[in-house]
């Protein structure tokens, strides 16, 4: 019996990096995964690789009409949604002085509006069955406010706050839906390589020295736990996963 056996899980930005690792972990532990991404090709490749009835769909998270269509498709095919991983993201290297309003809106449309829309449209479907677990991918940027990633940090801060707002609302309305945010430090994915302008490198397994980036599997293990009923008492939490970087003096 897998840890998320019988659950239907939707992952956004599932074609790459952390999202792809989340899809793999969820499918391995028995979930039927709806792998979505703004680009269909990588989502198809991930769905093909993880199997277990995975379905690939194109979804631009900043587009409300696409969210509505994806939820209708999931309801028609599976009749339920148990897990939503709001993972899709982009990065912009610019401090506040160098960020244009257009760039700020672009980053926030994907990472702030996208998470809002995902939660808004998943909750009614989750409520039709046994409730569910919403996992919102934030960042240590939400806690530290990285100067060089200004719009990114602002969007991730919004994700942190909306997560708590949704968790409390669900409790107050008697919904069996938990909502938590995940705050990774640097994890070796195409996004970090782009942000830092360097070539991919392999990350060693095992105990990592300070400053070493983590592996997507490190975050996927936490996402899997939050998706499973093992974490039933964790709600509205901000789960930092950064090898201690944010607590170092």
The residue among 51 and 190 lying less far from ligand NAD, judged by its C-beta, is: 190
Query: Rounded CA gap, 249 and 100, in Å?
Result: 33
* Nearer CB in complex with ligand NAD: 175/226: 226
Q: Measured from the CB of residue 87, what is the shortest distance to ligand NAD in angstroms? A: 5
Contacts of 238 by beta carbon, 8 Å cutoff, 6+ apart: 138, 142, 143, 160, 163, 180, 181, 183
**By C-beta, is 139 or 231 nearer to ligand NAD?**
139
- The helix or strand, by DSSP H or E, that contains position 46, with its residue range, turns out to be helix 40-50
Known catalytic residue at 152: yes
- Tell me how crowded residue 248 is: count the other CB atoms within 10 A of its CB: 9
Report the Cα 240 to chain-centroid distance in Å.
Answer: 14
| Footprint of ligand NAD (CB under 6 A) | 12-13, 15-19, 37-39, 42, 59-62, 87-90, 110, 137, 139, 184, 186-187, 189-192
From the CB of 155, what's the least distance to ligand NAD, in Å? 8
Judge contact between 237 and 243, C-beta under 8 A. no
Distance in Å, CB of 2 to ligand NAD, minimum? 23
Name the residue nearer to ligand NAD (CB basis): 8 or 110.
110
* Catalytic pick among 104, 146, 152, 175: 152
In degrees and rounded to multiples of 5, residue 203 shows phi and psi of: -105, 130
Q: Which runs of E-coded beta strand occur in 163-211?
A: 177-184
Q: How far is the CB of 139 from ligand NAD (least distance, A)?
A: 4
Catalytic positions: 152
């Amino acid at each position: 019996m897998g840890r998320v056996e019988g659950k239907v899980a939707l992952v956004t930005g599932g074609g790459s990096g952390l999202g792809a690792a989340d899809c793999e972990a969820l499918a391995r532990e028995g979930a039927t995964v709806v792998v979505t991404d703004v680009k269909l090709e990588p989502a198809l490749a991930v769905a093909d690789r993880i199997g277990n009835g995975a379905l690939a769909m194109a979804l631009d998270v900043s587009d409300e009409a696409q969210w509505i269509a994806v939820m209708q498709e999931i309801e028609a095919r599976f009749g339920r949604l148990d897990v939503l991983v709001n993972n899709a993201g982009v990065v912009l290297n610019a401090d506040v002085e160098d960020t244009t309003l257009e760039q700020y809106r672009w980053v926030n449309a994907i990472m702030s509006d996208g998470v809002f829309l995902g939660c808004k449209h998943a909750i009614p479907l989750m409520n039709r069955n046994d409730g569910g677990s919403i996992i919102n991918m934030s960042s240590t940027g939400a806690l530290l406010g990285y100067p060089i990633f200004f719009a990114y940090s602002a969007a991730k801060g919004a994700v942190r706050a909306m997560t708590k707002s949704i968790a409390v609302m669900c409790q107050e309305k008697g919904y069996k839906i938990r909502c938590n945010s995940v705050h990774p430090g640097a994890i070796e994915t195409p996004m970090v390589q782009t942000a830092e302008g360097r070539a991919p490198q392999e990350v060693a397994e095992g105990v990592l020295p300070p400053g070493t980036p983590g592996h997507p599997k490190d975050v996927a293990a936490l996402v899997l736990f939050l998706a499973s009923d093992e974490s039933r008492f964790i709600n509205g939490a901000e789960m930092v996963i950064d090898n201690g970087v944010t607590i170092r003096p």
